[in-house]
Structure 1
Amino acid sequence: MKRNEANNKYKWNVIDLYPNDKEFFNDLDLYIEKNNLLLRFKGKLNEKGIFIQFLKESMETDKSISKINHFLKHLYVEQNNERINNLESIYNNKMQQFDGKFSWISEEVKNIGKEKIIELLESDEELKYYKNSYIEFFKHIKYLLPQKQRELISKVSNSSSIIYEMYEVMRFKDNEEKILIYKDKEYKIDQKFISDILTYSDPIEDQELRALASLKYKEDNNFRKHTFAKIYESIVKEEIESAQLVGMKSFKENFFDDDDFSINDFLELIEFTSKNSNVYYKYYDLIKKYLNLNKFYGTDSSLELFKKEKQEFSIEQAKDIIKKSLKVLGEEYINNLEYCWSNNKIDYFEDENKSTGAFTVNSYNYDSLISMNFTDDIDSISTLTHELGHAVHNLFAKQNQPRPLNGFSNMIAEVASTLNEHLLFEYLLKNEKDEKKKLTLIQNRIEFIFSNFFSAISEAEFEYQCYEASERGEVLTLDKITSILKDANNKILGKSIFNRFDKNSYKYGWISISHIFEQPFYIYKYAVSIAVSFHLYSRFKNSNDPSEIISFLKDGGSLKITELFKKYEFDCSDKNSFKGIIEEVESLVKTFDIILNSKNN
C-alpha cells in the first residue's frame, strides 16, 4: 500500500498543527520576540539572581518554538511538500538574524565559574537537574574559543550545514518511480517489491531479476556516486577542521570520551569483532552450498530456503503479535505500548518522497512519532517492534525523569529497541510448530545480529579509517573511499563469499549508510547497544522478572552511558561483556546448520 492510499489514522497528522500560514507566522514572530528579550541579559549573568532568571526564560523560549519544530517534521514523510518547504525556508532565513548573537553566554558562564554555577543550580528545585550538563560544559571548557571567533563561526554555521542537507536532498527528494523491463515484463521497483523479491523469489530462475532489481532500486546512487563522494569528503573535512579549530588534536577527541566510551574501547571492540567473525562466513557458506548456485550474489543471501506461501500481515495483526510478544514485560509496559501506537503516531506506508528506512522522532513537548515503510511481512513486524521500543522508552523516561534527564544518547536508546526484537524472536520461535518456518525465523534472527553487530562494526571501521585518511591529508576520492570500504570489510568480516553481479556496484554501496553522513560515529554505538540489550534479555530469561528492564527504561539519561550499563552489570571496557552476543549467533548458526541438513537429507 502507498501512503496516499492509507487510512488517516495510519499517518502522522502534525501538518494539522498549523491549518493556515498566519498561525505559523504568529508563533514564529513570538519566538523571535522572546529571543530578542533574552539579549537584555548580555553582560549581566554574574549579577545576583540573573543567571537563574535567564535560564528559566530561555527554557520558556525553547518551549515556544517546539510546535513549529514538530510541525516541520512532516517533511520526513512528504519531502516535496511545497508549502512546508517554503515555511521551513522562511523560518531558517528569519533565524539567521540571531547568528552569533548568543555566543556571549558561554563566556559569561565560564567567568562565573563551575563551583558558583553548580551552587546556583542546586539551590533551585527546577534547575538542579541541569547540573550534569554544566559539569560537562566545564569539562570541555578548554575547547571554548574566544567570543569573537565563536561569533564568526556561528554566522557561517548555517552555510556549512548545507552540506549535510545535500545528502538528504540527493537521496530522497525529486525521486521518480523506477520501472524495470525484464524479459518483456514490467516491474515497478519500490521498497515492497525489493523486500519481496529478495526474500520469496525462486533461487535459480529469479537470480538475475533480483540482481537487476536491486541495481535499478539503487541506480540514483550509481548516477551520483562521485557527487556523494565529494559530499562525504566535505563532511569529514568539516568535522576534522571544526575539531582542530577549537584546539582538539584529533577528531577522536570530539567523538570519543575518555570518561565514558573511549577511543581505546572502540579500537578494542574493532579488534575483538575481527577475531570473532568466522561465524559470518560460515553462515553464508551454508546458504551458498544449499542453494547450489553457480554464482552467489548478495541479493541471494536473504532468500527463504523452503518454498512456501508468503505470510502477509495487516497492521492490526502485526500489533497483536507485538503485544503478545511484549506482554512478558508487564502491564505498565503494555499500557505505554498501546499509547505509543495510537492513531496518528505512526506513519506506516512508503511514498516516493518519504524518507526511507524507519526511525523514531522524540520531542520534549510532544509525543514520539514513528516513520516506517510497512511491507506486510515479518520483517515489517520486527521493524515496528524496534521503533516502538524507542517510543515506549521515551515515554517511560518522560514519566519518571525530570527534564533534561529524560533525554538520552543513541547508545542508550538502541538498547530498548533491540531488546524488543529479542523478545519478538523468542515469542515467534516458541509459537511456531512448522520446522521450515522455524528455520526462516532463525535465518532472520542471524541476519539481524549480523546487520546490527558485525556489519555495524565493519561500517564503523570504514568510517574511522576515512577520518584517519582525511586527517593525514589524503583526498577521499570515490576510489579511495571504496578502497577503504573493501579493506574494512575484509578486516572485520573476512574474505567475501559473494560474487559480484555488477563489478562496480561496491563503489556506491556505502552511500546507503546514511548515518555516516547524518550522524558521524553513530554506527558502532548500535553494536554496543545490541550487546547490552542481549545481556538484559538473557538476565530476564533466567529470572522471568521484568523489573530490571523496566527500571532501565525509567532511568532515561539520569546516568552516563557506561555508568548506566554498569548498573545492570555490563562493562563496556571488558570485552568479555560482548561474548554473549557472539555465542548467541554461533549457537543459532549451529542450529540452522542442523535443521538445514535434516531437511536437505
Structure 2
Amino acid sequence: MARELPLREEIDDKFKWNLTDIYASEELWEDGFTKVEGLLKEVKSYQGGLTDSADSLLAGLNLIMEIEEIVSRLYAYAHMKQDEDTNNQKYQGLYDRAQGLYNRVASATSFMIPEILTLSSTQLREYLEGNQGLQLYQHLLKNVLRQKEHYLSAREEEILAMAGDLAQGPGNIFGMLNNADLVFPVIKDENNEEVRLTHGRYIEFLRSKDRRVRKEAFTALYNKYDEFINTFATVLNTSVKGHIFYSKTRKYNSALEAALDDDNISVDVYDNLIKTVKDNLEPMYKYIDLRKKILGVKQLHMYDIYTPLISNIEIKMSFDEAKETVKAGLQPLGEEYISLLEKGYNSAWIDVYENRGKRSGAYSSGCYGVHPYVLLNYTEGLDNVFTLAHEMGHALHSYYSNKNQPYVYANYKIFVAEVASTLNETLLIHHLLKKTNDKEEKKYLINHYLEQFRGTVFRQTMFAEFEKIIHQTVEKGNPLTPQFLQEVYHKLNKTYYGSKVVLDKEIDLEWARIPHFYYNFYVYKYATGFSAATALAAKILNEGESAVRDYLNFLKSGDSDYPINLLKTAGVDMSSPEPIKSAINTFNEFVIKLEGLI
C-alpha cells in the first residue's frame, strides 16, 4: 500500500504556525471584515474633495491606509488558512471573501491617485510645507506624480479596480488545478516501496542516487501535466493577456515596462540581466560537462541535473538540527539578528511539514502589526536547510521593515525582497564550508552551492527570458499554443544548458508547473537579488560590523525609497551589470574548486 501524506490534524501542533496571533478567533476576523465595510462608506465622503486642502488630503490618506492595513490582515489570515489545506472548502470561501473585499477596497479608493494627480508640483510643495503630518506621505505623493502619465480618470481607475477579481482569475485557476486537483501517480522509491508522487517529494526523487527513481518521477510528473496541457496553456495565455491589457490601458510601451515601473526600474536592467547571463554561459557549460563526467553517464538527461554529484555522502538534518545550523551560519549578522531568528523559531512563526492538500513550496507571508510567518514543506535534505535560511531571511526583512516603517512604507518592493533571503543562503554555505575539513563533504557543499546558483541565476534568467518572449508574442497578436510554448521552452533550455544535456521531451512541459509565470515579471528579481546578495555577503564577511550596520539599515528601510537607491546605500549598484558578472565569476571559481577536489 502506497505511503500517503498525513492529514493536517495528524501533524503535531508544535510544527504548525499559530495564526491566532493575527486573529484569535474567526469572529474577530468577521469583525474586521465588517469594520472595513463600514469604513468604505466613510471613505466616499472624500471622493471629489480629497485634495481640496492639505488637511483633507492628510485625513483621507490616513483613512485609506487604515482600511488597507485591516484588509491586508484579513487577507493574510484567509490565504494562510487556505494554504494549510487547499481542499478545505470553508477556507476556500474565506479566502474568496478576503480577495473580493480587497478588490472592493481597491475600487472604493481608486479615486485617490487621480485626485492626487490634479495637484501641481507647486501645490504639493505648499501642502507639504503647510501641514507637518503630510510629510509622512512625501515619498508616496512624489512617486504618484512620477507616474502621472500612466494614471487614468477616477472613473476609469474604479473600473480597473473592479476588474481585479477577473485579473486574478488565471493565477487562482492555476493554483487550484496545480495544488488541489492534480493527483500524481504512485511510483516506487529506492527501496521498491510504492510512494505517492507529490510536489514536495518530486525534487527529493530527482536527487535520488537511483537513476530509475529519478527517471520514473520525472516522467510520471510531466505525463500528468501533459494530460492537462491545453488547459495550462490557455490559463497562461489568459494571464499574459491580462498583463498586456493593463499595460495598454495605462499607456505603457509593453507589459514588461509596466511591470517594472512600479519599482522605478528601467527595462534596461531586465535586458542587461538576460544579456549579461547569456554572454557568460561558459561557466555553466563547464559545470554541466563536469556533472556528466562525475556521474559517469554516457548521456546526461534533464532528470540527472539535480542529483548530488557526490554519491558517497548525503547531508540530512532533522528540523531541529536545521534550525541550529542556520543560526550558526548567520552569526556574522550579529546578536540582534540572531535573537530575532530564535524568536521566530520559538514563537510558532513556522509551518513545517507537508500534509495532504497543503500548498506546495515555501514562502514568507504576514501582515503589518503581527510577526511574519513562514510556510515550509520540510524534508531532511540539505536543500530544505537552505530553504529555512532563505525564508527566515524574508521573514526578518519583514520584521525589521514593519518595526521601523509606518504601514505606508512597510511593504518593501519585490526587487529587494530576494536580497535578504539569498544573502542568508550565501552566509550559510560559507559557514558550512569553513567548518568542515572533510574532502567529500566539501565537494558535496560546493556542488550544493553550484546547484543553488544554477537554479537562482541561470535558471531564473531563462525563466525571465521565457516571460519576455511569451508577452511579446501575445503583444504581436499571436496565441500561446501548447506547441509554441514547448518549442520556445525547448530552445531556451538548449541555449542555457548547452549541448552536453539530452533535452528530454518532458522538460518542454516544465513551463506548465511554474507558478511564478503568473506573477507578472517576478522571476528576474531572483537573479538580481542573488547577485546583490553575493556582493553584500562578501562585504559583511570582509568588513564586519560596519557592513552589518549598513545591511541592517537596508532591512529597516522598507519601501521608503526606490529599490535601486536602497541597494546603493547598502553598497551595491544593480543598475550596472557588474554585480551579475561578479556573481558568475564566483560561480566559475566554485566550479574550478570542485574540479580540483575530484
TM-score normalised according to structure 1 size: 0.91
Secondary structure of 2:186's aligned partner: strand
CA contact (8 A) 1:15 1:74 kept: no
Where does 1:447-466 land on structure 2 (aligned, <5 Å)? 447-466=451-470
Question: Who is 2:228 aligned against?
Answer: 224
Question: Who is 1:26 aligned against?
Answer: 31
Match 2:169 to one of 138, 162, 167: 162
CA separation of 1:425/1:117 partners in 2, compared to 1, >3 Å: closer, same or farther?
same
CA contact (8 A) 2:411 2:559 kept: yes
CA contact (8 A) 1:198 1:300 kept: yes
Match 1:81 to one of 78, 83, 88: 88
Question: Who is 1:6 aligned against?
Answer: 11
Match 1:188 to one of 182, 196, 200: 196
TM-superposed deviation, 1:232: 0.8
Secondary structure of 1:376's aligned partner: coil
TM-superposed deviation, 1:276: 0.6
In the alignment, the residues of structure 1 paired with residue 273 and residue 70 of structure 2 have an alpha-carbon distance, to the nearest angstrom, of 43
Amino acid aligned to 1:593:
E
Secondary structure of 2:77's aligned partner: helix
CA contact (8 A) 1:163 1:234 kept: yes
CA contact (8 A) 1:177 1:352 kept: no
Deviation digits for residues 30-61 of structure 1 (CA, Å, limit 9, x no counterpart):
22111111112222223342222222222233
TM-superposed deviation, 1:92: 5.1
Question: Who is 2:280 aligned against?
Answer: 276
In the alignment, the residues of structure 1 paired with residue 489 and residue 517 of structure 2 have an alpha-carbon distance, to the nearest angstrom, of 12
Q: Which moved more, 1:340-349 or 1:258-267?
A: 258-267
In the alignment, the residues of structure 2 paired with residue 454 and residue 18 of structure 1 have an alpha-carbon distance, to the nearest angstrom, of 41
In the alignment, the residues of structure 2 paired with residue 563 and residue 23 of structure 1 have an alpha-carbon distance, to the nearest angstrom, of 40
CA contact (8 A) 1:397 1:554 kept: yes
Secondary structure of 2:346's aligned partner: coil
CA separation of 1:259/1:86 partners in 2, compared to 1, >3 Å: closer, same or farther?
closer
Aligned residue pairs total: 588
1:497 to 2:496 alignment: no
In the alignment, the residues of structure 1 paired with residue 58 and residue 290 of structure 2 have an alpha-carbon distance, to the nearest angstrom, of 64
Q: Which moved more, 1:55-64 or 1:530-539?
A: 55-64
Question: Who is 1:599 aligned against?
Answer: none
Q: Which moved more, 1:273-282 or 1:113-122?
A: 113-122
In the alignment, the residues of structure 2 paired with residue 260 and residue 177 of structure 1 have an alpha-carbon distance, to the nearest angstrom, of 42
CA contact (8 A) 2:206 2:306 kept: yes
Q: Which moved more, 1:180-189 or 1:299-308?
A: 180-189
Question: Who is 1:71 aligned against?
Answer: 77
Secondary structure of 2:502's aligned partner: coil
CA contact (8 A) 1:52 1:120 kept: no
TM-superposed deviation, 1:23: 4.1
In the alignment, the residues of structure 2 paired with residue 355 and residue 156 of structure 1 have an alpha-carbon distance, to the nearest angstrom, of 26
CA separation of 1:5/1:85 partners in 2, compared to 1, >3 Å: closer, same or farther?
same
Secondary structure of 2:207's aligned partner: helix
Amino acid aligned to 2:570:
Y
Query: What is the RMSD computed on CA atoms of the aligned residues?
Result: 2.6
CA separation of 1:126/1:514 partners in 2, compared to 1, >3 Å: closer, same or farther?
farther
1:250 to 2:258 alignment: no
In the alignment, the residues of structure 2 paired with residue 234 and residue 152 of structure 1 have an alpha-carbon distance, to the nearest angstrom, of 19
Amino acid aligned to 1:186:
E
Match 2:205 to one of 182, 197, 217: 197
In the alignment, the residues of structure 1 paired with residue 404 and residue 155 of structure 2 have an alpha-carbon distance, to the nearest angstrom, of 41
In the alignment, the residues of structure 2 paired with residue 200 and residue 120 of structure 1 have an alpha-carbon distance, to the nearest angstrom, of 64
In the alignment, the residues of structure 2 paired with residue 379 and residue 88 of structure 1 have an alpha-carbon distance, to the nearest angstrom, of 30
Gaps in structure 2 of 5+ consecutive residues? none
Where does 1:199-598 land on structure 2 (aligned, <5 Å)? 199-201=207-209, 206-257=210-261, 260-308=264-312, 310-491=314-495, 493=496, 495-501=498-504, 503=505, 505-517=506-518, 519-545=519-545, 546-596=548-598
Q: Which moved more, 1:414-423 or 1:291-300?
A: 291-300
Amino acid aligned to 2:508:
K
CA contact (8 A) 1:415 1:532 kept: yes
In the alignment, the residues of structure 2 paired with residue 346 and residue 297 of structure 1 have an alpha-carbon distance, to the nearest angstrom, of 36
Deviation digits for residues 121-154 of structure 1 (CA, Å, limit 9, x no counterpart):
5655554232212212112221222333333333
TM-superposed deviation, 1:417: 0.8
CA separation of 1:283/1:95 partners in 2, compared to 1, >3 Å: closer, same or farther?
closer
Amino acid aligned to 1:537:
A
Secondary structure of 1:137's aligned partner: helix
In the alignment, the residues of structure 2 paired with residue 21 and residue 328 of structure 1 have an alpha-carbon distance, to the nearest angstrom, of 41
In the alignment, the residues of structure 1 paired with residue 448 and residue 338 of structure 2 have an alpha-carbon distance, to the nearest angstrom, of 25
Instruction: Show structure 1 runs of 4+ deviating over 6 A.
Output: 94-99
TM-superposed deviation, 1:480: 1.2
TM-superposed deviation, 1:456: 1.1
CA contact (8 A) 1:175 1:353 kept: no
CA separation of 1:366/1:442 partners in 2, compared to 1, >3 Å: closer, same or farther?
same
CA separation of 1:350/1:169 partners in 2, compared to 1, >3 Å: closer, same or farther?
same
In the alignment, the residues of structure 1 paired with residue 538 and residue 246 of structure 2 have an alpha-carbon distance, to the nearest angstrom, of 42
Match 1:105 to one of 107, 112, 120: 112
Gaps in structure 1 of 5+ consecutive residues? 597-601
CA contact (8 A) 2:71 2:102 kept: no
CA contact (8 A) 2:288 2:500 kept: yes
In the alignment, the residues of structure 2 paired with residue 549 and residue 433 of structure 1 have an alpha-carbon distance, to the nearest angstrom, of 30
Amino acid aligned to 2:319:
I
TM-superposed deviation, 1:473: 1.2
TM-superposed deviation, 1:306: 3.9
